[in-house]
Amino acid sequence: MTEGKKIITGRAFKAFGFLLALVAMLIGLYFAFAPSRGGKNASARSYDLNRIFNERDHSLDALILGHSGVYAGISPMEMYKRYGFTSYDCSQALQLPWETYEILSDVLAVQSPEVVVVETDHFFYDSKSVIRRNNNKRLGLSVYPFYETHVAWKDGFDPSARNALKGYMYTDVSRPFKGDCKMKPSDKKYKLGKRHEKYLKKIYELCRERGTRLCLVELPSLVMWDYEKHNTIREFAETHGINFLDMNERYDDTGINWETDTRDGGNHLNYRGAVKASAYLGEYLKDKYGLPDRKDDPAYSDWREDLNKYEKTVR
């Protein structure tokens, strides 16, 4: 072998060796950060959502599922602070109904909530671009799982750490909505996509099988929601005998101020909006489903600790 070839072979071996070391390190990191529970799709989910599996088994009174409107607009800790029941936001950006179903079945394997609250706007995420984006996101997360799990460093590299915000994502950014805050009345109905409708029914069936009650809720959002969607969900709720709360009909009761309570011009709520929406939803759930007050329950002392951490975060 000539000197030149020897050098090239040596370098090729070195490069290959380095790649092996790199892959070994990444695999090591993957196992260090991978969620220990959560079903086979756990690595394709957000880190905050997966931390629901770090809650004690059968300790949650309510689950709230849906798209980004949930983690932006409902703070389980605000509901705990006021009404004492325990809950968790199982939501991600652009979450689709079949993901909600997957998450719900995985969570119901370890939790037995009194009520499952499902946000309804994500049943209308039917455009091809949204579905493609969601598929790309899931593919990306399965190829590069660190995308979500690397934030475990904030828990001292402890993947079993509990989330004091219970799936809520705090933001105090404010960008007011400009325009008419009232929904335009309509008798029309938005036709649900076939797959979307199928999973709405599957979610309903799953809740029935597990003996938990389903409650459909639409959170305040001026950008995405309208009466056509409202009518479709109302019809489904009435047909199946389940409650449907559309907070967009009740701005006066919730006290949402679109000048100050939205982070992005009326689509998502910010912290101020989330406090109001959570207070309203908390009262509704307490009244309709008789959820218990666990504030003085010694078995739930960990929630009091989490509340302290939460207060520090949103202060």
Partner 1 sequence: MNKTMLIFFAVLAVAVALYYAFPFKARWTVLLGASLAFYLIVSTYLAVFALTTAIGVYFTARAVDKRNRDERELTEEQEKRRKRRNKAVVAVTIIVNLAFLGFLKYFNFFGASFCSFLNLFGLDLHFRALKLILPLGISFYTLSAIGYLIDIHRKKYAAEKNFFKVLLFLVFFPSILEGPICRYDQTGTLMCEGHRADYKGMLFGLQRILWGLFKKMVIADRVYLLVRTVSSEPSLYSGWVSVLFILGYTLQLYADFSGFTDIALGTGQLFGIKLPENFRQPFFAKSAQEFWQRWHITLGTWLKEYVFYSVALSPTMMKFGKKIKKKHKNHFTKILPTGIALLAVWLCNGLWHGPEWKYIVYGLYYFVIIFAGMLCEPLFAKFYKKTGINSECIGLRVWRHIRTLLIIFVGETIFGAPTLTDAFRILGSVFRPYDGAALSVGLDWKEYIVLLFGAAVLLAVGILNERKINVYEKIGGWVLPARWAVYLAAVAVIVVFGAYGSPYAAVPFIYGNF
CB of 191 to partner 1, least distance (A): 31
Pick between residue 160 and residue 313 the one whose CB is nearest to partner 1: 313
Pick between residue 25 and residue 182 the one whose CB is nearest to partner 1: 25
SS3 (DSSP) at 245: strand
By the 8 A CB rule, do 156 and 226 touch? no
Pick between residue 31 and residue 298 the one whose CB is nearest to partner 1: 31
Pick between residue 10 and residue 290 the one whose CB is nearest to partner 1: 10
The DSSP element (H or E) to which 115 belongs, if any, is strand 115-119
CB of 291 to partner 1, least distance (A): 28
CB of 54 to partner 1, least distance (A): 16
Q: Give the strands of the sheet with 87-91, arranged side by side.
A: 87-91, 62-66, 115-119, 213-218, 243-246
∠ CA 275-231-241, rounded to 5°: 80
By the 8 A CB rule, do 81 and 286 touch? no
Pick between residue 25 and residue 191 the one whose CB is nearest to partner 1: 25
Backbone angles phi, psi at 218, to 5 degrees: -110, 125
CB of 132 to partner 1, least distance (A): 13
CB of 19 to partner 1, least distance (A): 11
CB of 268 to partner 1, least distance (A): 13
What the block records as the tokens of 6 is 């020897």
Pick between residue 20 and residue 127 the one whose CB is nearest to partner 1: 20
What single letter denotes the amino acid at residue 100?
T
Contacting positions for partner 1 (CB under 8 A): 11, 14, 18, 21-22, 25-26, 29, 46-48, 92-93, 146-148, 150-151, 153-154, 169, 172-175, 312-313, 315
SS (H, E, C) 144-160: CCHHHHHHHHHHCCCCC
